[in-house]
Chains A and B, each alone.
Chain A
Amino acid sequence: MVHNRLIKNYLVIGGIVILLMMVFGILMLLAQGGGLSLSPPTFYQFMTIHGTGMIGAAALAASAVMWYFLSQHVTLSKRIFKANLILFLIGLVLVIIGVFSFDYASAWTFLYPLPTLSAKAWGIIGALLYLFGMLIIGIGFLLLFIDTGRAIIRKKGSLAKGLGWDVIAGKKAEKDAPEPAIIAGTMVTIVNVTALIAGATVIMMNIIHTINPAFTFDPLLAKNLTYAFGHVFANSIIYMSVIVVYELLAKYTNRSWKANKVFLIAWSMSTIFTLMIYTHHMLMDSVMPKWMLIIGQVFSYANGLPVLIVTAYGTLMIVYKSGIKWDMSSGLAFLSMFGWTVGVVPAIIDATIVVNHVMHNTKWVPGHFHMYMGLGAVVMIFAFMYYLAKVDGGLKITKLDWIAFFSYIVTMAAVSVQFLVSGALSTPRRWATHTPEWMGPALFGGIAGVFLVIATTLFIVHFVRYVCNET
């Protein structure tokens, strides 16, 4: 097994952080439902750590999925992989200190000029700790994706060939198309390096502004860069994790997942779309150029679809009459495809300008991304955990795992749906109030969340058992 130890560390750390962040999520829902009393500053601290931690941990675990499969095709640097983990932990510590010891609470989007101008809710130190923490985490990931990019270029000649453009152009036969892991790796490298360049710029800008508030920057450009970083980076998580679906199903069905032209075109399209659509975060900024908003709008419909369709279709095809044996990992992989498909629907509705005027900034938004991440991306990561435990560790699955599997589906769906229901119940808001109609669903979500944590704990216990067996 390739550098197994590090992969395990990534997944254990990622899994535990995700679990802890769920607890903060529950606390917030219970507070919104009236079951728990949290002061507003504490609530926003929880929200900040929940967002930062979830995105960070999911990206970390997803990058381990990608690394594991990609390293079977190209030569990746183990040292860089290790450096990323260390930098992530350093950054995480800084973020935690910034949020909990220095009251930093401007959400994981750190929208300029909020980190500096907090009406004295937090000081310079909290903002700097948080921003430097994010910068360090970003540097780690940037190193990782530079490494994957270089490795792909070394093997294939260029990123264009990594995406199989020569096959699309007909210069090469379909049977010589790159492996799905390489295609996905190339896509993620392209979008994430771009995102991290934008992110580093905007984080350093915020640092400068925090140190010297007299240097002011254009807030609209800042917002653009922030979402060009945040949206793309969060989006890439699913494209890293989805590799497990390709590799796992191929292995289980003894059929190979061959990339054909349609598959290649779909991945290239999603590469471009992912880079373009962040502007749907700016639909309420009337000063944005119209054409950018229209692009954001149009391509948001199309963003995930190409890859989603070819993957979902491919999944059905490869499984069809294959006599596949269903176990936890293939079940989770299948579920993730289902969750992704379902999660895209509210996302697309949300990206529509007309709908945006009514529902954006309500709970519809967390509804869509909890569904997409919770039932899609994160499930793929769990699928990978079970896959490793079985393929590498030969660990048996117990009844408890199946109970966890089904309760995860039900409770995660419940958490997402309660957001969507609240969203549908309400009007747009530009201020921090929580209307009484939302209290019932929030309480319901909080209670569902408790069972969700139990289910997730069982997943992670299974993986930790495998890790302990091995060493």
Chain B
Amino acid sequence: MMKLAILFFILLLAPVIRESLESVMVLHMFLQLPLLILVGVLLHGNRNWRFLEKWNDNGVAGMLLAVGVLIFWMLPRSLDDALTEIELEIWKFASLPLLGFLWKNSWRKIGGIFKSFLYINFLSMFGLLAWLYLGTPVQICNNYLINEQHIVGAVYLSSVLVLLLNLLYIVFFRGLGEEAE
């Protein structure tokens, strides 16, 4: 697991891959960023991480930090600056694996209500971003063309639809599997 994570990370760092992913807005946002998060998740694996058992016992602290980082990378400013400022690019490659790591560590620990809240929160947040990227007439990211931001908006919209259908499926048909215990 760990080796796979490191290999993945090195691949993403490789200049050719990095530049080609960053040259297209939708790849930058919906491929590079998620893959970096995945690196963190893989890095965590199924280990318990003694240190976090003590400091992230109920998962709240880890989740707050993870969500904070996620929201940070949803600000249009961050994406732009990552392209022009090296500090932010480094921060991106450090913070997103951290996000994945903390997420994996915290998700099992936090309460069901917190999970549902996050899920529903993402519905509104992605919906808002879809609306912003599809609808607004101004260029949001200076480094990307305006039609690229439409594609990003469409991807956000599709993810809202998928999340919504899944939610309906859970609450009307499947029920909360994990609550059986």
Q: Do A's and B's CB atoms come within 8 Å in the complex?
A: yes
Complex Cα gap A204–B112 (Å): 25
A126 at the interface (CB under 8 A from B): no
Q: Known: A150-B176, A214-B138, A217-B135. Is A197-B120 also a contact (CB below 8 A)?
A: yes
Flag if A215 contacts B117 (CB, 8 Å): no
| Distance (whole angstroms) from the CB of B110 to the closest CB of chain A | 13
| Distance (whole angstroms) from the CB of A12 to the closest CB of chain B | 26
A residues in contact with B179, CB < 8 Å = 150, 153-154
Flag if A146 contacts B124 (CB, 8 Å): no
A193 at the interface (CB under 8 A from B): yes
Encode contact with A along B134-157: 1 for CB under 8 Å, 0 otherwise.
Answer: 011110100000000000000000
B residues in contact with A201, CB < 8 Å = 124, 127-128, 131
Contact of A204 among B120, B128, B138, B173 (CB under 8 A): B128
A41 at the interface (CB under 8 A from B): no
Complex Cα gap A157–B177 (Å): 9
Flag if B138 contacts A215 (CB, 8 Å): yes
Complex Cα gap A77–B127 (Å): 29
B174 at the interface (CB under 8 A from A): yes
B172 at the interface (CB under 8 A from A): yes
Complex Cα gap A424–B118 (Å): 48
Flag if B138 contacts A200 (CB, 8 Å): no
Beta-carbon nearest neighbor of B171 in chain A: A159
A160 at the interface (CB under 8 A from B): yes
B residues in contact with A159, CB < 8 Å = 171-172
Flag if B171 contacts A149 (CB, 8 Å): yes
Complex Cα gap A346–B30 (Å): 51
A55 at the interface (CB under 8 A from B): no
Q: Known: A80-B113, A216-B136. Is A197-B124 also a contact (CB below 8 A)?
A: yes
B175 at the interface (CB under 8 A from A): yes
B69 at the interface (CB under 8 A from A): no
B116 at the interface (CB under 8 A from A): yes
Flag if A146 contacts B113 (CB, 8 Å): yes
A142 at the interface (CB under 8 A from B): yes
| Distance (whole angstroms) from the CB of A313 to the closest CB of chain B | 28
A residues in contact with B137, CB < 8 Å = 216
Flag if B123 contacts A197 (CB, 8 Å): yes
| Distance (whole angstroms) from the CB of B113 to the closest CB of chain A | 6
| Distance (whole angstroms) from the CB of B122 to the closest CB of chain A | 10
Question: Among residues 152 to 185 in chain A, which have CB atoms less than 8 Å away from a CB atom of chain B?
Answer: 153-154, 157-160
B70 at the interface (CB under 8 A from A): no
| Distance (whole angstroms) from the CB of B69 to the closest CB of chain A | 19
Flag if A158 contacts B173 (CB, 8 Å): yes
Complex Cα gap A315–B140 (Å): 58
B88 at the interface (CB under 8 A from A): no
B residues in contact with A80, CB < 8 Å = 113
A residues in contact with B138, CB < 8 Å = 214-216
Complex Cα gap A205–B171 (Å): 27
Q: Known: A193-B120, A197-B124, A216-B137. Is A160-B172 also a contact (CB below 8 A)?
A: yes
A residues in contact with B29, CB < 8 Å = none
Q: Which of B121, B140, B175 has the most CB of A within 10 A?
A: B175
Flag if A205 contacts B128 (CB, 8 Å): yes
B82 at the interface (CB under 8 A from A): no
Question: Among residues 201 to 248 in chain A, which have CB atoms less than 8 Å away from a CB atom of chain B?
Answer: 201, 204-205, 208, 214-218, 221
A143 at the interface (CB under 8 A from B): yes
A147 at the interface (CB under 8 A from B): yes
Flag if B120 contacts A146 (CB, 8 Å): yes
Flag if B131 contacts A221 (CB, 8 Å): yes
| Distance (whole angstroms) from the CB of B36 to the closest CB of chain A | 26
Contact of B117 among A143, A153, A158, A217 (CB under 8 A): A143
Flag if B132 contacts A208 (CB, 8 Å): yes
A residues in contact with B174, CB < 8 Å = 158
Question: Among residues 132 to 147 in chain A, which have CB atoms less than 8 Å away from a CB atom of chain B?
Answer: 142-143, 146-147
Beta-carbon nearest neighbor of B138 in chain A: A214
Beta-carbon nearest neighbor of B176 in chain A: A153
| Distance (whole angstroms) from the CB of A193 to the closest CB of chain B | 7
Encode contact with A along B157-181: 1 for CB under 8 Å, 0 otherwise.
Answer: 0000000000000011111100100
Contact of A142 among B112, B117, B171 (CB under 8 A): B117
Flag if A77 contacts B113 (CB, 8 Å): yes
B residues in contact with A146, CB < 8 Å = 113, 116-117, 120
Beta-carbon nearest neighbor of B112 in chain A: A150
Beta-carbon nearest neighbor of A193 in chain B: B120
Flag if A215 contacts B132 (CB, 8 Å): yes
Complex Cα gap A80–B114 (Å): 10
| Distance (whole angstroms) from the CB of B167 to the closest CB of chain A | 9
Complex Cα gap A345–B151 (Å): 48
| Distance (whole angstroms) from the CB of B29 to the closest CB of chain A | 18
B residues in contact with A157, CB < 8 Å = 175
Complex Cα gap A435–B31 (Å): 61
Closest 4 CB pairs of A and B: A200-B124, A201-B124, A160-B172, A146-B116
25 contacts between A and B (CB under 8 A): A77-B113, A142-B120, A143-B117, A149-B171, A150-B112, A150-B116, A153-B175, A153-B176, A154-B176, A158-B172, A158-B173, A158-B174, A159-B171, A197-B124, A205-B132, A208-B128, A208-B132, A215-B132, A216-B138, A217-B132, A217-B135, A218-B131, A218-B135, A221-B131, A221-B135
Give chain A's interface residues, CB within 8 Å of chain B. 77, 80, 142-143, 146-147, 149-150, 153-154, 157-160, 193, 197, 200-201, 204-205, 208, 214-218, 221
